[in-house]
Structure 1
């Protein structure tokens, strides 16, 4: 499939980041292993990833998202990203991802080729929706008490109205997300996929069934060719019967695929 690809679409879910050391939020236990203070509070990932906390308890909300922002900045993309970059040098390539960590851009992918369907932690928006355009979080550094995972000190503010800022990501039950920054790349992604539909190979990585946005995109994009490579440790089955499922971690699978191509 890869050798015959005229274009490559990478569809990535949360499992893509695990080999880089990013925490696995699969189920409450996985989340609480990564963030023990939230076990004591009885708060799950879904409950914390709710925009209501920015209004009701901003120190709690920014403790969680400020830590994630720092974690993503400090994380080095695993070797599988470099494999994908080498493939991208050979054929036209785009990325569709539900991840908000910015790891593809950090690995060297052109930001304009990365469609982030849930937004990005590396950008902010006004909580009040004052009309200020989405802006980069480059100068944001939230101090956090590691014992309580609450933010201490000044919180990020909107440059327009001076009110509280929030990450520009789509949270659970979020009716206030501003998609204006993500929309141009999502629109370009849809047009590019239509253009290359007849000779497209899709590599789907770490995308599960719990929130199937990435899986559905991968299946839809590969429908015309049947060229789907699904990499998923727990859920590798290709339900429509067209494609290949690999029950491997992301980095191992991508390195093995590259090695196999080199040996041919």
Structure 2
């Protein structure tokens, strides 16, 4: 009989054209489905908590799929990890209730965005952080983060093509901290995200950090509900899907 498998996936998105399966491009979903189909000898389609764009990474993407098999979850995890390329790793695999759906059962997601803030770029982690050479004002950026904690219309930070019925989202927390080696990390958790929403927020908030925008300017951008008023989209390479929360 069919069993519903839940998997937690870590991946380096650098070499992929995003999460979603595409016939002519290499994607995370496509590689996992191809490997599962090979192991289980049956067509497998997986559903994720959401799509990540090209170049975006994940520590804890969640997906589920149905399969008719007696293979134990632990053995299935080992099998996938032994066959799939090293930039994708299945961290957890378990059987869940039939009604579990990685996307529709999620209640919130948490993203982290990393910035290297120093004059010189970085050789080792260059694919995992946005390099900004000019000093950033942490306090100014923190004010912007605090200003959008709560329920707001984020239309100003949405790119075209968002699959949504509303642009209103609830941000549970949004903070910024300095970490080791001249790095800065933004952490944001919300009940949902519009297309490029996190990257558009970061790209705009960085303007405050560069003293090119005030907190009042930022609030005016939010209230304008106009994408053309906001800043540029931050690069994909600094963004990580940290975890997906379920009730």
**Normalization by structure 1: what TM-score?**
0.26
Greater strand fraction, Structure 1 or Structure 2: 2
**Normalization by structure 2: what TM-score?**
0.27
